Amino acid sequence: MLKTLLEFLQSSAPVAYDTALLSLTILLGIGLGTIRIAGIRLGVAGVMFAGLLLSHFGLQPETGVAHFLKEFGLVLFVFSLGVQMGPGFFASLRRDGLRLNLYAFLLVVTGAAVTLLGRWLLGLPAAVAVGIFSGATTNTPSLGAAQQALRSAEGSTDAGTLAAQAYAAVYPMAIVGIILALIVLRRLFRIDVAAEAEAFRQQQGEGVDPLDRMNLRIDNANLEGVPFKEVPGTHETGVVISRIRLQDGEAVQPATPETVLHVGDVILVVGTRAHLEQFRRIVGSVAGEDLMKAPGAVTYRRVVVTNPAMLGKSVRELGLDHIHGVTVTRVNRGDLNFTAMPDLRLQFGDRLQIVGDQSSLDRATAALGNAVQKLQETNFAAIFAGILLGVLLGLYPFQIAGLPGPVRLGLAGGPLVVAIVLGYLGRLGPLVMHLPLDANRALRELGIILFLANVGLLSGASFVSTVFSVQGLSWVLMGISVTLLPLVLVGILARRGDRMNYMNLSGMLSGGMTDPPALAFATALARCDSPAVAYAAVYPLTMLLRIVAAQIMAQF
């Protein structure tokens, strides 16, 4: 009955038919994804298998519409991921990005080696080999690049069609294989995922000491009449002064870097415990009073930076101490807290702790914006401007010596690279690049669902006939080898030889296979987004490597 209704819609209302079929695919796929078999859930990958099933029974969308929704869903997913990971991406590269990318490089090389070995053993054409390589590593852009290279080399579309058939044959099992590899590694090393997630969060916080405050009495006679900013060690330790009680006064006053110190004054400074101890040895001793509780008109306030005019400016360039008579003592950005160093540049959503009297705080608050409701607003203009730039970057041809044709980042690599950069910078010209966490997750999930649903609907018609032939089964077995062998070997090497945390391991392997469903599985398993850090760290380079590797195998 349902099929009859859909067939009627297809003939009389094609747009309604495509919409109904897509909705049915997603609904059925979400249900399939919740079913556990031997403790394994497909999760979001169930949407693709629902598409394969419906397509096999003749329910297929309009091809052009399905291709658009598939690619647009992929762009939405990678762009949202890049925006989220942008602020911490370059810090992750400095911390352990080189190590992660070395393992990802080894994953690509091992996969290519297994593909070439399988091609030699089975006597496969180059087109089939690159199709298996792309499908077994779930990398659609590399398939497109390989098809272009095959057309250039052979002058016909037949080889490209053969590559697509091999890709469709091995792709579904690759999704399962990558997830299976993550489960095998977890059980092989008896990994407690919750404990690994907590250890990862602690590791991410290493080197970022919590801030503290200290009341100090000026005992060093050499500091008489010296402005705070000129005190030796101020710049090196990064401590910030917020309050002062003069030696001959009772009331506490706001203090700035320009405040002149005198012997006997008591000051309140903010910094890490180690830096405060270092600064104490320079200026004097710990005071027996707490200026936070002393009488005076000084108070503090936490303010959110939402005024576009303030974005990109450093704390020094804001001039809040000169213009409004307040001092910025702390900055909170995401999960990080640090002192307001003069050269620190502000981003949208930064939370500043400012100190001063009530009227001064009011003026500074108005200048900074403090429009908290804007943190929940999605700037779609900035998002689609970024997507436009990402698409253009993805289409740009990069010429590599030794290859007869150029390579491209494609619709996955280009938007991801642009999103990471814009997420780090926080703006695109006058446009603020801000995507609330809930909106980010919604766009990511929508993108990956659209992508997988249409992959299944486009592949299902010939899937069964191809896979369940002798030739197709050989492709599938080779594809499973190309998927599992590199993952398990590199996973064992990283875990046993390098003691890599499972959050980094699962993210690196998912990103090394450029596989969004595996990332979705890993994040669901971890109950947090921690695997996405390593995923984003290796994804751009891995995407480029797989595109290049596929074109090399196609051309030579």
Q: What is the DSSP string of 274-330?
A: HHHHHHHHHHEEE-SS-TTTSSBS-EEEEEEB--GGGTT-BHHHH-HHHHTS-EEEE
Q: Which amino acid is at 102?
A: L
* Short-list 544, 475, 410, 408, CA closest to 168: 475
Q: Cα separations (Å) of 426 from 91, 238, 342, 405, 431? A: 15, 24, 19, 35, 9
Residue 388 in domain? no
Query: Could you tell me if 329 and 368 lie in one domain?
Result: yes
CA distance 249 to 285: 19
- For residue 58, the model assigns a pLDDT of 79
Residues 369 and 467 in one domain: no
Predicted pLDDT at 206? 47
Domain membership flag for residue 459: yes
Q: Last residue of some domain: 374, 403, 434?
A: 374
Burial of 460 (0-12, 13-18, 19+ CB in 10 A): buried
The CA distances from residue 447 to 218, 410, 520, in Å, are 59, 16, 12
Q: For residue 252, how far is the Cα from the chain centroid? A: 45
Report the pLDDT value the prediction gives residue 228, as an integer from 0 to 100. Answer: 85
158 and 176 part of one domain: yes
In whole angstroms, give the CA distance from residue 199 to residue 503.
9
> Are 242 and 264 found together in one domain?
yes
Count of CB atoms within 10 A of residue 431's CB? 17
pLDDT of residue 115: 93
Q: Are 533 and 508 in contact (CB under 8 A)?
A: no
Euclidean distance between CA atoms 64 and 72, whole angstroms: 12
Determine the Cα–Cα distance for residues 305 and 331; give it in Å rounded to an integer: 10
User: What is the DSSP code string of 251-278?
Assistant: SBEE--TTPBP-TT-EEEEEEEHHHHHH
The CATH number given to whatever domain includes residue 281 is 3.30.70.1450
> Residue 174 domain-assigned?
yes
Query: Please, what's the largest Cα pairwise distance for the chain?
Result: 95
Specify if 385 maps to a domain. Answer: no
Same domain, 336 and 403: no
pLDDT truncated to tens, each residue of the chain (556 aa)?
A: 556 666 656 666 778 888 888 888 999 988 888 887 655 566 777 887 888 888 888 788 888 888 888 889 888 887 887 887 776 666 666 666 788 889 999 999 999 999 999 998 888 888 889 889 988 887 766 776 677 677 666 655 566 667 777 887 887 788 788 888 888 888 888 888 788 777 777 665 544 456 778 888 998 988 888 888 888 888 877 788 888 888 877 678 888 788 889 888 888 888 888 888 888 888 888 888 877 777 767 778 888 888 877 877 878 787 777 677 777 878 877 656 667 777 777 877 788 888 887 888 888 888 888 887 777 778 888 889 999 999 898 888 877 666 666 667 777 678 878 888 888 777 777 787 777 778 888 888 898 889 878 878 877 776 677 667 788 888 889 999 999 999 999 999 998 888 888 888 888 888 888 777 777 777 777 777 778 778 877 877 787 788 778 877 876 6
Query: Based on the domain organization, do 29 and 153 belong to the same domain?
Result: yes
Instruction: Note whether 330 and 252 are same-domain residues.
Output: yes
Q: What is the DSSP letter of 494?
A: I
Helix 63-92 vs helix 437-467: angle between axes, to the nearest 10 degrees?
130
Cα angle: 346, vertex 76, 540; to 5 degrees:
70
Task: Give which of 108, 117, 99 is closest to 142, Cα–Cα.
Answer: 108
Instruction: Enumerate the β-bridge partners of residue 319.
Output: none
Residue 161 lies in a domain: yes
Residue 369 falls within a domain, yes or no? yes
Q: In terms of domains, do 105 and 161 share one?
A: yes
Domain end marker among 320, 340, 374: 374
**466 in a domain, yes or no?**
yes
Question: Tokens for 251?
Answer: 């009331």
CA-closest candidate to residue 528, choices 538, 518, 520, 516: 520
Within 13 A of 270's CA, how many CA atoms are on the CB side?
Answer: 24
Are 534 and 508 a contacting pair, CB within 8 Å?
Answer: yes
Sign of CA dihedral 117, 122, 128, 134: negative
Predicted model pTM:
0.69
Indicate whether 313 and 280 sit together in one domain. yes
* Cα(146)–Cα(148) distance, integer angstroms: 5
Task: Give me the residues paired with residue 336 across strands.
Answer: 333
The verdict on residue 169 lying in a domain is: yes
- In the chain, DSSP finds a helix count (H) and a strand count (E) of 22, 13
Same domain, 191 and 44: yes
Of 346, 374, 402, the residue at which a domain comes to its end is: 374
Q: What is the pLDDT of residue 545?
A: 81
Looking at residue 207, what is its pLDDT?
46
Closest C-alpha among 42, 39, 5, 43 to residue 24: 5
DSSP-assigned letters across all residues of 90-128: HHHIIIIIHHHHHHHHHHHHHHHHHHHHHHHHHT--HHH
Q: Which residue range forms the structural domain that includes residue 224?
A: 211-374
Yes or no: say if 354 and 306 are a contact pair by the CB < 8 Å rule.
no
Mapping DSSP to helix (H, G, I), strand (E, B) and coil, where does residue 26 land?
A: helix
Q: Judge if 419 and 369 occupy the same domain.
A: no
- DSSP, collapsed to helix, strand or coil, labels residue 346 as coil
313 and 331 part of one domain: yes
Residue 332's DSSP bridge partners are: 337, 351
Residue type, 182: L
Structural domain total, the chain: 2
Local structure of residue 189 (DSSP, 8 states): T
- pLDDT at position 542: 82
